[in-house]
Structure formats: structure tokens, C-alpha cells
Amino acid sequence: MAAPAQPVAITGAEELEAGHSLWQDAWLRLRKNKLAVGGGVFILVLALASFLSPLIAPHSYDTQNLALGATSPSGQHWLGTDDLGRDLLSRILYGGRISLSVGLAATLVAVVIGVLYGTISGYFGGRVDVLMMRIVDILFSLPFIIFVILLMVIYGRNIYLLFLAIGAVEWLDMSRIVRGQVLSLKKQEFIEAAQALGLRRRRIILRHMIPNVLGIVIIYGTLIVPRVMLTEAFLSFLGFGVQPPMSSWGTLISEGARSMEEFPWLLIFPGLAFSSTLFSLNFVGDGLRDALDVRASKD
């Protein structure tokens, strides 16, 4: 059906002709995606509240009030208190600080490993590439998280180790994507070398290569964050992650699950905070991908 496809192509051309750069264009498209914008705002507010939690949290996260015990949500404690009388809202805010930090730090680890591995594989190509990608294939098929548990069991439950271990799990996708990008850029470079024009080379690197790799790294980096946070929560839930008195959302959910019969709010509120964060991060990541990925421009 050539007929209905035609007008779509025309509007695409008009948008390009309007003289926006790749990033301006992506920003415009992202802004139109309400889910992504909503998710982004939610994440920003939550992140701000979490990182400012020492200032804005209504109570201290570890002040116990055994006499008070667990209370359901009230004017004094908006989200209630746990069985040790600690304010749940404050604990969720502080927990968010840890969960988000782990999310960002471990993502950084994953991105660095993935980009390095992918660049090396794509740059050298040939046998090195085949071998390196075969290794990635094999790693993909392994239950990586079990090794992370192994690591946490052996070397103690250290939060920096947690960053590293989770980062070491999630780099595989990134390495594949970066490799593909590097491979296709190499081909472009070849064409451009044939043209042998000094000035244009710099222009092409600036205009195409860096935005291309950067864009892809940002998109998939954003998509790694929720996965990393999930892994952290998973480990914390099982007791291999963040240790008390520190608490991430995973530990809060775990504690809540243990006492949900008597105090359901201890499960519901941390679960809600965690799930809506994951939701929002996914929307932002998908939105970014749709906005930046030029190849996926379907109607």
C-alpha cells in the first residue's frame, strides 16, 4: 500500500527540513509523549525528595519508638509506623535514596563495562569480535543473578560490592548495542575516507558519530536503571543486599511482607513507591528510545 504511506513520509521530510538538530527533534518528540513526561516528572520529584530526605523527612528513619509500635497511617505519621515505631514515610524516603543511588551507580558500572567491551569488539572486528560476542551469548544464557548472590555470600554484604556486582550483570545488552553501532560507524568512516576530505571528516564525526553512540548509550542506559533497581530490590528482599539499619525499598518490602497480616500498610506503601518508580523509569526509557531512535520511526 503505497498510498497511505506517502503522507507519512512527507511529514517526516518536513520535520527534517525545519532545521532542527537531532537532539532538538528528539526533545520535541519526547515532549509530545505524555507518559514519558509524566514518568520523568514523577522520577524527578521522587529523586529530589529522596536525596533531600535528611532535610524534609518528617522523622528520623531509625528513631525507634517501641512504646508506639506499629500504627496505621495518621496525621502524625502519614504512612504509619512499623513495629519498632519508626515513621514509614521517612523510611521510604531514605530507602529511595539508597535504591536510586544503587540504580545510578550500578548503571554507571554497567554502561562503562558495556561500552568498553562493545567498542573493543566492534573496533577490532574479525575473530576477536566473534569470540567476544560468543562469550556474551554464553553469559546471556547463564543465571547471572545466582553468581551475584554467590558473590554477596562470600564477600559479605557490602554496598559497593553490590554496585559492582549488579553492574557486572547488566552490561551485556549495552555491549551488543554499542558493538553494532561501532560496526556501522566503521562502514561510514570507510566511505568518508574514500572521499578524503579533511574538513568533512570532522563534521561527520561531530554530527553523526558522537550523537549516534551517545544517543544509544543514553537510551539503553535509561532502560538499565529500572532493571538494576529491580535486581537490587530482589537481592535486598532475599536478604543479600542492603543490610539494616540501612534500608532500600527491597528491604522495606521484605519487612512489610513478613508482617503484612497485621500491618498491611508496611507492604503496600513501599511496594507502591517501588512499582511506580519502575513504571515511570520504563516510560521514560521507552519514550527516549522512541524519540531518539531515528531508525524506529514507524508511523
List of residues contacting another protein (CB under 8 A): 1-4, 6-8, 10-11, 138, 140-143, 145-147, 149-156, 230, 233-234, 237-240, 250, 253-254, 256-257, 260-261, 264, 267, 271, 274-275, 278-279, 282, 299
Asked whether 225 and 105 are in contact (CB, 8 A), the reply is no
Residue 10 CB, nearest approach to another protein (Å): 8
Residue 152 CB, nearest approach to another protein (Å): 8
Nearer to another protein, 154 or 199 (CB): 154
- Residue tagged 562470600 (cell numbers): 154
Nearer to another protein, 211 or 239 (CB): 239
Residue 191 CB, nearest approach to another protein (Å): 28
Residue 6 CB, nearest approach to another protein (Å): 7
Number of neighbouring beta carbons within 10 Å of residue 134: 10
Nearer to another protein, 57 or 265 (CB): 265
User: For the chain, first and last CA: distance in Å?
Assistant: 14
Residue 142 CB, nearest approach to another protein (Å): 6
Residue 11 CB, nearest approach to another protein (Å): 6
Rounded distance between C-alpha atoms, residue 224 and residue 242, angstroms: 20
Q: Which of 99, 105, 133, 111 is nearest to 220 (CA)?
A: 111
Rounded distance between C-alpha atoms, residue 176 and residue 220, angstroms: 11
The DSSP letter of residue 286 is H
- HSE-up of residue 296 (Cα within 13 Å, Cβ side): 11
Distances (CA, A) of 257 to 45, 205, 237, 264: 27, 53, 9, 8
Amino acid letter, residue 186 = K
Nearer to another protein, 215 or 270 (CB): 270
Residue 211 CB, nearest approach to another protein (Å): 28
Q: Which of 235, 248, 267 is nearest to 99 (CA)?
A: 248
Query: Which grid cell is 185?
Result: 560507524
Nearer to another protein, 52 or 238 (CB): 238
Q: Which of 103, 70, 66 is nearest to 267 (CA)?
A: 70
Nearer to another protein, 108 or 260 (CB): 260
Rounded distance between C-alpha atoms, residue 244 and residue 81, angstroms: 17
Nearer to another protein, 94 or 237 (CB): 237
